[in-house]
Structure 1
Amino acid sequence: MSEDLSAVDDAQLARWAYGRPGSAAEGERARLAAAELERRAAQRAGELATPPPSAGATVAPTPARAPADRGHPTAARAPEIDDVPPPDDEVPDPGARARARRRILVAAGVIAALVVAAGIAIPPLLDPAPPPRSSLDVFDREFSDEEREYLTLLQREGQRVNVGPRVIGTIEYGTVLAYRSIRNDPGQPERDQVCVAVAEYDRAAQSPQINDWQCVDRSDFETEGASVTLFGLGGQYDVDWGPRGRAQVEVIMTEAQRRVMDPGLESSFLDFPERELDRAYVDEQLLLEQTGLVVEQLRTVFPLGELLGDPTTEQPSTILPDAEWVAIYTGAPVDSDERVACLAVVAAGVQRESRCLSLVDNGGRGFLLEIEREGQTILVSWAATGEISAQGG
């Protein structure tokens, strides 16, 4: 005999219909409960579609609509709410709702259990952005060997360096440094300053130099940063270093400044000391009549006998006055501004062999001079970097 479930409420029916049966009897009751829920849902749907008239009321006949006048256009009428039947998916279904709610609750419970069991912390959807780092954090890292050398140079210039220096930018021939200087002079308020300086390699002095520096109060730096212009041998350095982020460095350089910083072939005249003999070639213009060139600078690099293996050339005091020398020089014709660089062999104010190259059109190239002596061939090179070398055989 079938169990009568017509008097059981919907919630209990849903628990029986969608619960897990433990026996055949409970399985049969679950089937009957599901059928009862479907019957009630169908009944409610029919009541919504055609509501029954109340007792004692009469139903008025629906007036017939007049046919449209096809001879005259009519305005389109928006359908009234009562004209549109409700879609099927909007009809309430207690059984469907109960099934969906149970699935959602079960899924949520399983996810929560997995998260708790694994000990997983669910992060927020959007992590807050980290605060921007201060530019002064550059002082937190360790010194490099190069920066220790710059510290010595700054102190040699009389700078009080309490923190730093640190390299904050390199461009062309300049290295921009940052350091902090804290002053506690008697009778004066303490000054905590952030400073920037430019270091360059001075070819004439054959060493790095600190050529300019500027400082701002730390309180001003932390709100506005530092925008300074530094002047060096290799140009004008514009430094824009804000309270946050890296320094921006630009340089304005003339061609004359570039030649000073990177003289190319002419750097040899800085690398080799000038002898008294070299000075005589320039002061007395010993080569002018023979070459037609006004010599600007000249260096006798090494005696040719040394390259040929002559042991008497090992001591400069033993070199004869008329000995042959490998020399380098620059000059220009009397009636022209076109400068040239020359490799030559000179002896007693006379040029024996030479090869010259235009300094304007050489494109940064070096060149060679080939010398024949005593059955030997000597190749002398003058590199674009200013290095002089020779080999023979």
Structure 2
Amino acid sequence: MRALTWQGTGKVSVETVPDPKIHEPTDAIVRMTSTAICGSDLHLYNVLGMYLDAGDILGHEPMGIVEEVGAEVTHIKPGDRVVIPFNISCGHCWMCSRGLYAQCETTQVTSQGKGASLLGFSKLYGQVPGGQAEYLRVPQAQFGPIKVPDGHPDERYLFLSDVLTTSWQAAKYADFAPGDTVFVTGLGPIGQMSARIARHLGAGRVIATDRVPERLEMARRNGIEVIDFSEVDDVPAAVRELTAGRGADSVIEAVGMEAHGTPVQEFAQKAAGKLPDALARTAIDKAGVDRMGALRTAFDAVRRAGTISIIGVYGGQADPFPMMDLFDKGVTLRMGQAHVKRWVDDLMPLLTGDDDPLGVDDLVTHRVPLEEAPHVYELFNNKEDGCIKAVLKP
């Protein structure tokens, strides 16, 4: 089959690789019909190469048609249309029984001290081949795959794999009351959907910041107030000005480790990525190499006794936190990988009708064949050609 493979920092290519096969009775094989590129894929593309091997298949936002199932997979069958969650969870362990699917004890990557295995996401999370390919082997398929109905194009349901469920969790973790003001840092796909979901769940006002014109315009047409941080010297001050000097009741930090505005940490991050793998892993483990600009904005923009929901991905072990300010303000922090299947029942009714209350149909900007994936990675990474969300069609 053909698959998008990591070949080095800033380099991916589509290669011919062996077709996946059933290894366990809990496996399934799914023929991909759509698979998206995520901002987290750019972390692998740019920063976390020390945890990858040349030839690793990327991608964790897949859907398609079931081709084959193992003997213990009974809730799906060949011919079913399914979305695959990005985290691999068993559904029956202690963590899963509490809805904490991203911490599944059956698939935890204990050798790395990490939570549940993830599709297409490096040695840190199990080095499981991902879904930017023609076919995908799905572990723990007795629980994970989400059956979806016909009647809408793939893109209506595809983002249950990550974007929608991650954004729903981000909004839930923000813990705002009806009528509250929510501030969102970053208007990539997660920021876009987090902002829309916050409005849907009753926020009185949703403000978001970014600097990319196409992202700002997409947010505006979906009812979000925007702050262009290329035109504002002090974004938190602008948020306070919009909120009677108090700050946002809740903040969703949707950027993560590659935020703009922190040149020293950007240099450290890039330098770590150029080291030999063993030294680079030590640097990540022992140093604060994440770019903290978006987090600092969140910390400053939230009101006293407010809540910050961190959904952007971070990778440094010793990032500097302004603990005195956070303690003094009485800030609540919630964060973590999305527990995908925990939120599916909340989201599915919003997707099956014709009204599209979350504006899911207004997210994808690029639909291209799998063979064009390397070019689209460049566009997405460089924020060119209005690329906000790209879907590959194997």
TM-score between the two structures when normalised by the length of structure 1: 0.24
Q: Which has the higher strand share?
A: 1
Larger relative CO (CA 8 A, sep 6+): 1 or 2? Answer: 2
Tell me which structure has the larger Cα radius of gyration.
1
